[in-house]
Amino acid sequence: MNHEHVFIQGEDEKAPVLLLLHGTGGNERDLLPIAQMIDPTASVLGVRGNVLENGMPRFFRRIAEGVFDEEDLIKRTKELHTFLDEMALKYTFTRDQVYAVGYSNGANIAASLLYLHENSLRGAILFHAMVPLRGVNLPDLSGAPVFIGAGKHDPLIPMEETKELVKGLQDAKSPVTEYWTEGGHQLTREEIEQARNWFEEVKQS
């Protein structure tokens, strides 16, 4: 299934590609300014979710606030994985150099890609993410570093939820970096700056 998207070729064709995944109600262009802050030389692929909730785009359905429709999540994750394969051919970027940058709902489907599809992502920046699925055997993620930005007072995501996500990724051998703000669910500039510093180190390793 196709996604509304925007692709912007970066200065270096061999540089990583930033896959931008918006939060509920966003679109394929929402995170372009954040991509510019994280790495202005990278190519970017902004994607719009195919599910509508009260007219707002999302990447997968949910049953209630914080309760995912797991069957739909698995289906939509597979669709996104296949879409990335197709886009790599269309835009001739290196498929194994895709780093997700996701916020909220977009971060959740990025985490689901890590959980379900080995080598789908080279790494990920997850802003305000939840555990996508439980009872899943994760692949070896030792080659997939992850940055997690979270708010200590996020009304939608308890700290324990984020800690569980961190532990699950670490158990799968992913090198995880956590960054906590004193804020809530909103994305903060300090998180983005920390993610930028992290990405500068990661992409050189």
Question: Residue 58 belongs to what H/E stretch?
Answer: strand 56-58
Q: Name the one residue in this structure whose structure tokens are 């299934």.
A: 1
**CB atoms near residue 20 (< 10 Å):** 28
pLDDT number for residue 15: 81
> Of the residues 43, 104, 120, 174, which is catalytic?
104
Cα gap 88→92, rounded to integer Å: 5
85 counts as catalytic: no
pLDDT number for residue 205: 75
Cα gap 88→108, rounded to integer Å: 22
pLDDT number for residue 122: 97
Two tokens, residue 50: 């195919």
104 counts as catalytic: yes
- Of residues 205 and 139, more confidence is placed in 139
Domain edges within the chain = 5-202
> Of the residues 22, 30, 154, 174, which is catalytic?
154
- Of residues 114 and 204, more confidence is placed in 114
CB 130 within 8 A of CB 103: no
Two tokens, residue 53: 């909730």
Q: Is the pLDDT of residue 38 over 90?
A: yes
185 counts as catalytic: yes
pLDDT number for residue 119: 93
Cα dihedral value 75, 151, 177, 27, nearest 10: 40
CATH 3.40.50.1820 fits 5-202, yes or no: yes
